[in-house]
Chain A
């Protein structure tokens, strides 16, 4: 299969998977416990890495903006620029890319391994739908957890940006926060926040699709995991562009 047909297969595959999710959501049972567990796995367990990366992103961005603008006597504008770039783009996209690696890869590997060891077949044989038991709890868990993680990431970035502003750029902390909240309008925040629902879908659908597609053996699990991260990352950045364009056309 060449690259192009692979992409077409992939897009068709996740569309069908999404359709299955919608169809099977209508009928019982719903695995509430597994859903909660997935929120824990996707959300709570990602907090440390999101904390570290967001803090670093906030610090680096503030430093870059501040030091560049200082040359023109404009370092007081760095809170403004920081808040806009974090809320609109960095928070959602950066977090989702990290999660594509942390969550998407793990999910593909787990489902792929279940496929190889015939556990998915066993589910089917016992009369249980893998879509209901495996895919839906993960998908909905992602829809809950990823947006919250993105919010968390934005605030961590701003706080650490402010700290760097205070220590490195001699900007008053109060002034920094004041500027952040003065600049960011609700729609700046929403333009970023809404995207996270799409990104979360991209990550989980891609992860489940590649996991369920594994058929041959452990070698293929590794392969599928790589593909899952690559495809969901590309979907996120491409989707980001398209969603941003749509958003600006609508407002």
Chain B
């Protein structure tokens, strides 16, 4: 297997605060890598740095074997066309309708006719159970709907790699399961993905490998099966901690 993304000894800090302190891992072709870790540990920061939204103070990021650390904005564009990012908060364009949000990357980067774009967008809306929402503005949608529009917008251009930041948070159990199915379907198409999540059930169900980020480093990286059976104290505590946290939330 060839690594699509390789991160080597990455350091990122904000002002004085060191967030990532030597993160290394690789994302293999076609896999779904889960990234778990406590709140504020730097999961989003790590994900953002892959497409150049955060700039590391040292370390390297390789994309398909090429060094893509601290490129110019112009150079990042070619990578961003291949790698989609699903934002934790949706980050929908609120001056545009749902339709326009979805059509955005098709209009920007393809020369499809408006008719073809319409076809694709309507199909995608159906896929994410958002039929009839095309003329609504993001403020008119519920949080979960915004989330789904955000994912639809990121996946509509059929990118090679998708980086998800919390794709299943804020969804009801039924929609969550649908979202998991959608992500698995995209995986089957050959997409490579990396997913930050607090939701162990999602991670265990759809990820091929799971990485644990604490203290600014990847402390463990393994398959879900090994994760469950692991005797690693750190891991066990973490998994249990998260489960407790979730019970707490749903109670």
Chain A residues with CB under 8 Å of chain B are 29, 117-119, 121-122, 124-129
Contacts and interface: CB of A to CB of B under 8 A. Distances in A.
Interface string B224-241: 000000000000000000
A122 B91 contact: yes
Interface in B152-169: 153-154
A125 B94 contact: no
B15 to A, nearest CB: 11
B99 interface: no
B172 interface: no
Contacts of B80: 124-127
Contacts of B109: 127
A126 B80 CA distance: 6
Contacts of B87: 118, 121-122, 125
Given A119-B93, A122-B92, A129-B77, 18 more contacts: A117-B89, A119-B92, A119-B94, A121-B87, A122-B85, A122-B93, A124-B73, A124-B76, A125-B53, A125-B80, A126-B84, A126-B104, A126-B108, A126-B153, A127-B78, A127-B105, A128-B104, A129-B73
B104 A124 contact: no
28 contacts: A117-B91, A117-B94, A118-B87, A118-B89, A118-B91, A119-B91, A119-B92, A119-B93, A119-B94, A121-B53, A121-B91, A122-B87, A122-B91, A124-B53, A124-B73, A124-B80, A125-B51, A125-B53, A125-B85, A125-B87, A125-B154, A126-B104, A126-B105, A126-B108, A127-B105, A127-B109, A128-B104, A129-B77
B81 interface: yes
A118 B53 CA distance: 11
A78 B78 CA distance: 63
Interface in B99-137: 104-105, 108-109
A99 B61 CA distance: 45
Interface string B14-52: 000000000000000000000000000000000010011
Interface in B52-110: 52-53, 73-74, 76-78, 80-81, 84-85, 87, 89, 91-94, 104-105, 108-109
A119 B84 CA distance: 14
A57 B92 CA distance: 44
Contacts of A117: 89, 91, 94
A1 to B, nearest CB: 13
A137 B74 CA distance: 18
B119 to A, nearest CB: 20
Nearest to A23: B74
Nearest to A129: B73
A127 B92 CA distance: 15
A127 B85 contact: no
B84 A125 contact: yes
Contacts of A125: 51, 53, 80, 84-85, 87, 154
Contacts of A129: 73-74, 77
A114 B204 CA distance: 35
Contacts of A119: 91-94
B94 A127 contact: no
Contacts of B92: 119, 122
A75 to B, nearest CB: 52
A218 to B, nearest CB: 14
Contacts of A124: 51-53, 73, 76, 80
A30 to B, nearest CB: 13
A118 B165 CA distance: 13
Nearest to A122: B91
Nearest to B163: A125
